[in-house]
């Protein structure tokens, strides 16, 4: 996404990260408790327990990232379009971010709403962290199962 949360060196907790973890726990709870399957019952449970704020937080942060990156994208586009033809295009000098590709598609007639882009950003953020965690767990499992290769 091209956005640095700096959660490794920052002592402050990441509100978005906590919201995603709590949201994953709530989704898992819904899977194991059949009475929470209907959306009406699940929504009532969230409101009664005050847990709907986690989903709200998980939606607010990506919108903030999207707004900042959209402003940067617009500034880059203006700078690139304002250059004299025949000069080297800055577009070739950097690899495009996921959001840059979405913004380009949107400008070329993709008609994505902010909520569509937000959903894609959340999917990419969760997929990136989950993939790493699952890979590490799988490697540890394989090492535990194959003790003969451990030194």
Closest CA to 125 of 19, 5, 1, 8: 1
**How many whole angstroms separate alpha carbon 90 and alpha carbon 88?**
6
> What is the length of the chain?
151
Q: pTM to 2 decimals? A: 0.57
Q: Residue 85: phi, psi to the nearest 5?
A: -65, 145
pLDDT digits (tens, 9 = 90+) for 83-100: 644 444 555 555 677 778
- Residue 85, pLDDT score: 47
Q: Is the pLDDT of residue 62 over 50?
A: yes
Query: What spatial distance separates the first Cα and last Cα of the chain, rounded to whole Å?
Result: 39
**How many whole angstroms separate alpha carbon 117 and alpha carbon 78?**
22
- Residue 3, pLDDT score: 65
pLDDT digits (tens, 9 = 90+) for 19-36: 777 877 888 888 888 888
List CB contacts of 126: < 8 A, sequence separation 6 or more: 20
Confidence of residue 54 (pLDDT cuts 50, 70, 90): confident
């Amino acid at each position: 996404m091209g956005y640095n949360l700096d959660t490794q060196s920052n002592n402050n907790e990441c509100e978005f990260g906590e919201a995603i973890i709590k949201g994953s726990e709530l989704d898992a709870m819904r899977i194991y408790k059949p009475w929470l399957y209907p959306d009406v019952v699940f929504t009532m449970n969230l409101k009664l327990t005050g847990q709907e704020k986690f989903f709200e937080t998980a939606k607010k942060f990506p919108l903030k990232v999207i707004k900042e990156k959209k402003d940067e994208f617009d500034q880059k586009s203006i700078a690139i379009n304002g250059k004299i033809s025949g000069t080297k295009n800055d577009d070739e000098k950097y690899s495009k971010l996921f959001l840059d590709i979405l913004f380009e598609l949107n400008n070329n007639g993709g008609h994505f709403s902010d909520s569509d882009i937000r959903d894609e950003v959340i999917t990419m953020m969760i997929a990136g962290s989950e993939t790493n965690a699952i890979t590490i767990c799988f490697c540890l499992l394989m090492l535990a199962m194959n003790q003969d290769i451990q030194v």
